[in-house]
Copies of this chain bind each other. A is one copy, B any other.
Amino acid sequence: MGKGTLYIVSAPSGAGKSSLISAMLETSPTYAMKVSVSHTTRTIRPGEQDGVHYHFVEKQHFETLIARGEFLEYAEVFGNYYGTSRVWIEENLNKGIDVFLDIDWQGGRQIRQLMPSAKSVFILPPSKDELERRLNARGQDSEEVIAKRMAEAKSEISHYTEYDYVIVNDDFDNALIDFKAILRAERLKQDKQTDKHKSMLSALLAE
Contacts and interface: CB of A to CB of B under 8 A. Distances in A.
Interface of A: 122, 124-128, 154, 157-158, 160-161, 163-168, 177-178, 180-182, 184-186, 188-190, 193-194, 197, 200-201, 203-205
Assembly of this chain: how many copies?
A: 2
A203 B185 CA distance: 30
B178 A190 contact: no
Given A165-B185, A168-B200, A182-B185, 12 more contacts: A128-B203, A128-B204, A154-B205, A157-B204, A161-B194, A165-B190, A165-B193, A166-B197, A180-B181, A181-B181, A182-B188, A185-B186
A181 B184 contact: yes
Contacts of A184: 177-178, 181, 185
Contacts of A190: 122, 160-161, 163-166
24 contacts: A124-B197, A125-B204, A127-B200, A128-B203, A128-B204, A154-B205, A157-B205, A158-B205, A160-B190, A161-B194, A164-B190, A165-B193, A166-B188, A166-B190, A167-B188, A168-B193, A178-B184, A178-B188, A181-B184, A181-B188, A182-B185, A182-B188, A184-B185, A185-B185
Nearest to A120: B190
Contacts of A125: 204
A204 B168 CA distance: 12
